[in-house]
Structures are given as structure tokens and as C-alpha cells.
């Protein structure tokens, strides 16, 4: 039997004292044991704060993103070994794919997002400059900096790999060290992947630690700079969030709790339609994937009254084709639960629901292929029907964390919405319909109670990731019973581990802090055109003021001919005057932008490689024939890019562009991005 170890203060350590024993979910044989006895949790936190934290915070977002990518590649190359271990959890190959490949994919996703959406800097400037005074000498900005504590991640048993990696990815990208506490029942799989993470040598010392076994008094040692992210039952979440240290020190606590998620069949999705078939397939898939052990699984199936019989018949037909057994056997579609303890828990809660509803399928003997049902942690699907869902509370209050589902009818969409709300807060919900008005009414009605909503129809079905699949670019979490927190969601997940601080001061002081130019700050001019300078030589605030150009009627007509844009305000003087905005024919806005480029672009080959984009374009004042425009071009921000092997060293320069008229009034404001060559290292 394998002895699992903890990873604390940079060393693998076997726990002392009583051991928790883990069993093979298929055979029931003991396969591993672990303990966290002897660990000094306060010391582990101190190590994370004093060793891991400084090392991570010294890196830029782009450097942290590179670590995530390297780690993901390392794990992906070794995933076959993880699949072999995952079989002991009772997972089918597709179950393991979600857990293992899905988890590694989250690392890749956050690595990419870190390079695209965050600066090559150790902190993040959020949002625009906020004017705080009339003359512009007093302004505000928001910055986000990494917390200086540790992130404690307490994960559930159902996704030993994904559960760890989906929390690690945003926290490490934010620059915060992590202590991982997997659920003991399947911690042998987490430990196997964690060992490879450490063996890779990719992460700095102190960036990650692992506790296999009880968390003991870990939370008692948390401080105001620490954070907790928990996945599991709502009951446990409430116990942890009320830990005295968490409450008194205002420790950030994020909970993602199991919830009574629902799927609603739209009134248009009648039997015989593609949508009806999609609905049935989705409900059964959510009942049987991971044997229903998903915090996002469908527990309540809400259908139009009169369709209950057809829905139940179709669900039973698909469930009868679901082969239960050892996932290693060909044809097995659903494996066991994670442990015999889970079987007892699911059975007890399923019987409570059954007592208040009608059993339609399951609840008795069922065949198991390739394994002994009594030795393994097998539990057959159970399908109930509740004819009076507004008078029956059990399906809305009790969760059986397995392949258990209750079908209930509604008479109107308002009733469907009300039934969805009775889950008291869900991680996700789904609606199957082709009718936009149905989707709008249901979505807006249930959104306050859900963290994520899927609207499924025949158009999206081929590429849909399904009801129960959290994605790294969308938030995962929900209100009320679902825990009240959010994970992932792209940049949102990273910012959870950062402190948002409002800065106030003069524009120049804030530029010195943020390294991002803002209006009112110093602007320097020189004799050399900035397009002749390498990325390394450009300074934030460096400004080019161009010569002027007088816009003529011939320019306007030539641009109309070239572009095909003959909008009346450009071509018909009387019509332009009559619209109440202009005093006559005006120049095309895009011509103004083009003419501005002609004023500031240096045409000869040089360090500028390409135009990378244009952002936040606003036309603030019309330009009439006879007006003379000029440009103020200012280096706003510089972001160095990683150089691919054999590539050209380069960076992205953001330029603040102000196009002004003869009265020095702004007529167009925007930001352009250019790729600029860096000097060879």
C-alpha cells in the first residue's frame, strides 16, 4: 500500500500518527494511506509568505505566464501516468479527460491570458484615469498588486487534478504562493501530479506546498494577507468561513459549493424536435458523467406540464443503455462513486427525496460489469418524478451527490423561473429552446440565482461544452447555496488574489508609479522622430507634435470615391445642416484618422515593424473643409514581448493620439499599438 507524503517547506514529508486509508473505487482494495500528523501548519504558511511570496512577486505577469506554460507542457507529456492512477477513482476515460486534460488546459489558458491581457509588469493598472479636479492637476487610478500572504486551496474529491490546477493557475499568475489541500479520498491522484510539478523544477521554492490528510489547525494561522478558496459542500463551506481567524482577520474566503442545479425544457422543444433530444441527452450525460459526482450536475429537471411522461420515457430509455462497471472494461459508460462512504451518503439523501416523490427508475438491484458491486463503490442511477414541485420541498433542499435526478413540471415560464430559484443559488443552469423570447424571459428571471447559464439549441449543440463544464474564461461559482463566490472567469480569477488600491495624486506622480502616461503628465519632445527609435530607447511621455494639414473639400470627395462612403453628411451640404448636429459638410472620421497617420508616420524602414491595432477611438468634434489638423503623439505604455526562437526581439508600444484643430481643440482621440524592434540582448 502506497504511503502518500506531504510537501512542506521544500521537502517531501510522511505524516506521523493515525493514517487515513484510501480504497480502490472499483475493487474496494486499500491502495494508499496518508497523514498530516507532525506538520507545522503555521511554519508552512510562514514559508509560503517569506520564501514563495517574494520569489513570485519579483516576477512579471509574463514571466509567471511562462512558468504556467512550461508546467502545463511538462504535465501534458506525462499525462498517461495520471490516467493510470485516475482509474482507481472509478473514472471512465472521458471522466479522466475532463479532470486531467481539462486541468492542464486551464494552465495553458491562464498562461495565454497572462501574456495577452496583463502587462509585462509585477502589478496591474485597472481602468482609465479618473479626473478628480477641474484643471486636471489631481487625478485617480486603480492598481492591483499581489497579496503578500498565501493562498490556501481546499479541494473536493471529485476532480483531484482539475480542482487543484484551476485554483493554482490564477493564483500563481497573480504572484501568490499556494498551499494545496486535496480531499483525502482521492489525494493519491493529486499527489501523483503534484510530484511531477515539483520534479519539473519549474516553480520557485515556496511557490506550492501540499497537505495530504487533515488540514488540522491550518486556518487558525491565517492572516489578513492570506486567502482561502474552498470547493465542497455548502455545510463545510459555512463551517470554514466562520473560523474565528477567517472572520476576525477578514481573510478572503471564496467558496464554490455543491448546488441543486437545474435544466429547463422550453415549451417549444416538444417531442420529435432536435431540442427535445438534446435535452434528454444532456440530462442523462450530467447524471452519469463522473457518476453524477459533479458540483455542476443536473439535479432538477424542469419540463412543461404535459411533457412529463414523454421526458421520463426518453430518460429511462437512455439510462437503460448505460452500462455500469469497471471503466477499464470496454463498453462501460459509468463507473463507481469515489468511495463506499459516498455510496452511503448518496443512498441516504436519495431515499429522503424518494420518500417525497415517485420513483421512476433505479433504486434497486443493478448489473455491474467487470467488478463486484458489493466491494466497489457502485451506485445505480435513480430518477424520480415530483408532480407537485411547489408543494414539495425535498427536491429543492436535498442534494444526493451522485446519479440522482428529479423531474418536475411547470405550467408557465414564470413557474419555470420560480422552480429554478428554489435551488436557493446554483453554480449553473441550462435551458433548451430555439425561441429567443423564451430564452430572454428565463435567463433574465433566473440569472440572479445562477453563476452560469447555458442556452442550448441545435445551432450550438455541435460545439457546446455542455451544461456541467466550467471553462477558464468564464466565471465558476454562484450565489447563495452555491457558496457566493467566483473562480476563474479569465482575469477576474487573477484579480481575486490581488489588492485593488485607489491612487490619488498629480498626473506626473501617477505616471511615475504606473509607468503609463496619462493626460496632464509631462511630455518631452526631441529632434529625433520617435519612429526612428528602438523600443529600449523610447521613454513614456515622449511626444511628437506634427505639422498641420488643412482639410479640403477635394479631400472629402476623394475619400468618398476611394472608400465608397457617401454618407449624406459628407456629400450633401443642405442635408448635413438639417440634421441638427453639423453646420455643413464634414470630413469622414476615418479620413481624419488616415490623415493623422500621414502626419505622424515616418515612412522609411526603421525599428517600427508593424501597426498592431487601434483602440478606444472617439470623434469628439467635427472637422469641416478648411479646418487644419495636427497630431500630438505620445508614448503611453511599453510592453516587451517574449522572443520566439529565431524571432525578432520586439515589444508593443501604446501611443496616445490626440488629433487637434486650428483652435487646439481635440477632434479625435485614440490609442494605436505598434510592434517595435528591441535591441538584441
Q: Report the catalytic residues.
A: 256, 295
Residue 366 has what DSSP assignment?
-
Rounded-to-10 torsion of CA 306, 312, 315, 316: -150
Q: What distance in Å separates the CA atoms of residue 40 and residue 216, rounded to the nearest whole number?
A: 10
For residue 322, what is its C-alpha cell? 448505460
What CA–CA distances, in Å, run from 237 to 53, 253, 262, 339?
A: 26, 9, 21, 21
Strand segments (E) across 377-505: 382-385, 404-410, 426-432, 450-456, 475-478, 485-488, 498-505
Rounded-to-10 torsion of CA 37, 39, 45, 50: -170
Q: Give 303's strand partners.
A: 409
Phi and psi, residue 260, nearest 5°: -95, 75
CA-angle at 50, arms to 204 and 52, nearest 5°: 20
What CA–CA distances, in Å, run from 338 to 29, 90, 156, 291, 519?
A: 13, 6, 11, 9, 59
For residue 268, what is its C-alpha cell? 417549444
Residue partners of 192: CB distance under 8 A and separation at least 6: 81, 82, 85
Residue partners of 559: CB distance under 8 A and separation at least 6: 565, 587, 588, 590, 591, 594
137: left (phi over 0), alpha (psi -120 to 50) or beta: alpha
Q: Which is nearest to 352 in space by CA: 319, 397, 391? A: 397
Task: Check: CB of residue 154 under 8 Å from CB of residue 240.
Answer: yes
Task: Check: CB of residue 656 under 8 Å from CB of residue 637.
Answer: no
User: What's the alpha-carbon Rg for the chain, to the nearest Å?
Assistant: 30
DSSP secondary structure string, 77-111?
TTHHHHHHHHGGGT--HHHHIIIIIHHHHHHHHHH
Long-range residue pairs from 51-55, CB within 8 A, at least 24 positions apart, any chain: 51/10, 51/177, 51/205, 51/206, 52/150, 52/177, 52/204, 52/205, 52/206, 52/207, 52/208, 53/146, 53/148, 53/149, 53/150, 53/175, 53/176, 53/177, 53/206, 55/177, 55/204, 55/205, 55/206, 55/207
For residue 372, what is its C-alpha cell? 463486484
Residue 185 has what DSSP assignment?
G
Task: Check: CB of residue 657 under 8 Å from CB of residue 626.
Answer: no
646: left (phi over 0), alpha (psi -120 to 50) or beta: left
For residue 30, what is its C-alpha cell? 486499500
Amino acid at each position: 500500500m502506497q504511503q502518500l507524503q506531504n510537501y512542506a517547506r521544500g521537502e517531501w514529508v510522511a505524516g506521523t500518527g493515525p493514517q487515513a486509508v484510501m480504497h480502490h473505487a472499483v475493487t474496494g482494495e486499500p491502495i494508499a494511506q496518508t497523514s498530516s500528523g507532525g506538520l507545522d501548519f503555521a511554519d508552512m504558511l510562514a514559508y509560503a509568505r517569506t520564501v514563495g511570496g517574494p520569489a513570485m512577486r519579483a516576477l512579471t505577469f509574463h514571466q509567471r505566464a511562462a512558468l504556467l506554460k512550461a508546467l502545463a507542457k511538462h504535465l501534458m507529456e506525462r499525462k498517461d501516468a495520471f490516467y493510470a492512477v485516475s482509474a482507481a477513482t472509478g473514472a471512465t476515460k472521458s471522466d479522466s479527460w475532463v479532470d486531467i486534460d481539462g486541468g492542464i488546459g486551464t494552465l495553458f489558458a491562464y498562461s495565454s491570458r497572462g501574456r495577452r491581457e496583463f502587462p509585462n509588469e509585477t502589478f496591474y493598472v485597472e481602468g482609465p484615469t479618473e479626473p478628480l479636479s477641474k484643471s486636471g492637476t489631481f487625478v485617480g487610478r486603480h492598481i492591483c498588486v499581489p497579496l503578500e500572504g498565501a493562498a490556501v486551496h481546499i479541494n473536493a474529491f471529485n476532480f483531484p487534478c482539475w480542482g487543484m490546477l484551476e485554483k493554482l493557475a490564477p493564483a500563481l499568475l497573480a504572484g501568490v504562493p499556494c498551499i494545496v489541500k486535496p480531499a483525502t479520498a482521492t489525494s493519491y491522484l493529486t499527489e501523483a501530479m503534484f510530484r511531477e510539478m515539483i520534479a519539473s523544477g519549474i516553480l520557485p521554492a515556496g511557490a506550492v506546498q501540499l497537505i495530504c490528510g487533515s488540514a488540522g489547525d491550518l486556518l487558525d494561522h491565517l492572516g489578513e494577507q492570506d486567502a482561502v478558496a474552498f470547493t465542497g459542500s455548502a455545510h463545510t463551506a459555512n463551517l470554514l468561513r466562520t473560523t474565528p481567524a477567517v472572520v476576525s482577520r477578514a481573510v478572503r474566503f471564496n467558496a464554490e459549493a455543491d448546488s441543486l442545479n437545474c435544466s429547463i425544457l422550453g415549451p417549444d422543444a416538444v417531442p420529435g424536435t432536435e431540442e427535445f433530444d438534446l435535452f434528454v441527452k444532456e440530462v442523462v450525460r450530467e447524471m452519469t458523467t463522473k457518476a453524477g459526482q459533479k458540483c455542476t450536475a443536473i439535479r432538477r429537471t424542469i419540463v412543461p406540464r404535459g411533457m412529463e411522461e414523454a421526458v421520463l420515457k426518453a430518460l429511462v430509455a437512455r439510462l437503460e443503455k448505460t452500462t455500469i462497471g469497471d471503466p477499464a472494461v470496454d463498453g462501460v459508460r459509468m463507473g463507481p462513486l469515489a468511495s463506499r462512504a459516498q455510496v452511503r451518503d448518496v443512498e441516504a439523501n436519495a431515499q429522503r427525496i424518494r420518500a417525497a416523490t415517485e420513483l421512476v427508475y433505479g433504486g434497486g438491484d443493478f448489473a455491474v460489469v467487470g467488478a463486484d458491486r458489493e466491494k466497489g463503490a457502485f451506485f445505480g442511477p435513480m430518477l424520480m418524478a415530483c408532480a407537485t414541485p411547489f408543494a414539495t420541498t425535498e427536491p429543492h433542499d436535498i442534494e444526493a451527490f451522485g446519479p440522482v435526478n428529479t423531474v418536475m413540471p411547470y405550467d408557465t415560464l414564470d413557474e419555470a423561473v420560480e422552480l429554478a430559484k428554489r435551488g436557493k443559488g446554483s453554480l449553473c443552469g441550462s435551458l433548451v429552446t430555439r425561441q429567443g423570447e423564451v430564452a430572454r424571459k428565463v435567463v433574465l428571471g433566473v440569472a440572479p440565482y445562477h453563476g452560469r447559464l447555458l442556452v442550448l439549441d441545435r445551432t450550438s449543440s455541435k460545439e457546446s461544452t455542455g451544461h456541467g463544464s466550467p471553462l477558464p474564461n468564464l466565471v465558476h461559482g454562484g450565489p447563495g447555496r452555491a457558496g457566493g463566490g467566483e473562480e476563474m472567469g479569465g482575469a477576474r480569477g487573477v484579480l481575486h488574489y490581488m489588492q485593488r488600491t485607489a491612487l490619488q495624486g498629480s498626473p506626473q506622480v501617477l505616471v511615475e508609479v504606473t509607468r503609463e502616461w496619462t493626460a496632464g503628465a509631462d511630455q518631452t519632445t526631441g529632434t529625433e522622430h520617435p519612429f526612428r527609435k528602438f523600443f529600449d530607447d523610447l521613454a513614456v511621455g515622449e511626444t511628437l507634435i506634427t505639422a498641420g494639414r488643412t482639410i479640403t473639400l477635394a479631400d472629402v470627395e476623394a475619400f468618398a470615391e476611394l472608400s465608397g462612403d457617401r454618407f449624406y453628411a459628407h456629400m450633401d451640404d443642405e442635408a448635413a445642416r438639417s440634421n441638427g448636429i453639423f453646420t455643413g459638410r464634414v470630413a469622414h472620421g476615418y479620413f481624419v484618422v488616415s490623415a493623422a497617420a500621414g502626419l505622424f508616420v515616418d515612412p522609411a524602414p526603421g525599428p517600427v515593424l508593424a501597426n498592431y491595432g487601434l483602440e478606444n477611438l472617439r470623434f469628439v468634434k467635427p472637422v469641416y473643409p478648411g479646418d487644419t489638423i495636427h497630431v500630438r503623439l505620445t508614448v503611453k505604455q511599453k510592453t516587451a514581448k517574449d522572443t520566439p526562437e529565431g524571432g525578432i526581439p520586439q515589444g508593443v508600444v501604446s501611443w496616445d493620439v490626440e488629433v487637434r484643430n486650428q483652435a487646439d481643440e481635440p477632434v479625435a482621440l485614440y490609442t494605436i499599438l505598434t510592434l517595435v524592434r528591441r535591441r538584441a540582448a
